[in-house]
């Protein structure tokens, strides 16, 4: 394919993905009441652990509620449309590969979506409750604050961003296995740079998560474990790396 054909292919994939996300986002906004109950659940559990009135979810600006609802609708829409967007992404990648390499990407969208859900679920069910309990408890118990009003828009951004980050970073083994499957990188190379990957995992965790140690350790540890799993799987399906003589 020429550069122009690649750009046209990219435009087509982006348009299809955008329409899928928009349609799913509109559907999520229609059912925003049920969606918000789901999003608020981790915080409501934490609020119930403190005396009444200590922790409240409030709206500091007149438009915060609407903006927060829109963010959540787009976020949920992106998750619902993920099978389509991931399929479009891998289809675009496969368009630039040789025929024998295209077979390696045919079924990557499904496990990619599964790993995204696994990462988002880890953030929602385990990481965010511990992070919220730590951050709110520090403000009330350690700093002695009488109240801890939480901005609705900020809370929505925090939980949506955390779930998105965990979901995206859980794509790491898919990318690694793909590179090993087509022979671009050998498993031994990933194994050689294991220490660098662990350091990078903790650096990313510090940059992309709330400032509490549990969330950072959970994300970095998950990435390190997935890195090792990808190496083990890659050794069974890796293609020999091509050389210039071939």
6 in Cβ contact with 96 (< 8 Å):
yes
The per-residue pLDDT for 244 is: 43
Query: In the predicted model, is pLDDT for residue 241 greater than 60?
Result: no
Question: For the chain, what is the mean pLDDT?
Answer: 83
- 58: enclosing H helix or E strand: strand 55-58
How do the residues of the chain divide into helix, strand and coil, expressed in percent and rounded to 5? 75, 5, 20
Per-residue confidence at 93, pLDDT binned at 50, 70, 90? Answer: confident
Around 145, how many Cα atoms within 13 Å sit in the side-chain half-sphere?
15
Q: Whose CA is closest to 67, among 157, 1, 2?
A: 157
Per-residue confidence at 161, pLDDT binned at 50, 70, 90? Answer: confident
Q: Who contacts 60 (Cβ-Cβ below 8 Å, separation ≥6)?
A: 151, 153
Per-residue confidence at 243, pLDDT binned at 50, 70, 90? Answer: very low
Question: What does pTM read for this prediction?
Answer: 0.79
Query: In the 3-class helix/strand/coil scheme, how is 92-130 assigned residue by residue?
Result: HHHHCCCHHHHCCCCCCHHHHHHHHHHHHHHHHHHHHHH
């Amino acid at each position: 394919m020429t550069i122009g054909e690649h750009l046209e292919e990219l435009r087509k994939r982006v348009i299809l993905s955008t329409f899928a996300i928009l349609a799913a986002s509109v559907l999520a906004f229609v059912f925003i009441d049920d969606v918000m109950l789901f999003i608020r659940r981790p915080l409501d559990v934490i609020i119930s652990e403190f005396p009444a009135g200590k922790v409240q979810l409030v709206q500091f600006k007149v438009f915060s509620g609407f903006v927060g609802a829109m963010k959540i609708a787009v976020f949920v829409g992106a998750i619902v449309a993920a099978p389509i967007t991931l399929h479009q992404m891998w289809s675009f990648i496969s368009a630039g590969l040789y025929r024998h390499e295209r077979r390696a990407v045919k079924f990557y969208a499904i496990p990619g979506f599964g790993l995204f859900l696994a990462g988002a679920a880890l953030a929602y069910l385990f990481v965010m409750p511990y992070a919220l309990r730590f951050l709110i408890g520090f403000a009330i118990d350690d700093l002695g604050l009488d109240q801890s009003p939480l901005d609705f828009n900020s809370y929505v951004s925090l939980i949506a961003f955390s779930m998105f980050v965990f979901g995206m970073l859980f794509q790491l083994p898919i990318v690694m296995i793909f590179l090993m499957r087509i022979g671009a990188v050998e498993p031994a190379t990933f194994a050689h740079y294991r220490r660098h990957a662990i350091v990078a995992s903790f650096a990313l965790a510090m940059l992309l998560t709330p400032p509490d140690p549990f969330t950072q350790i959970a994300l970095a540890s998950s990435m390190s474990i997935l890195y090792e799993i990808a190496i083990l799987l890659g050794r069974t399906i890796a293609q020999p790396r091509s050389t210039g003589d071939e």
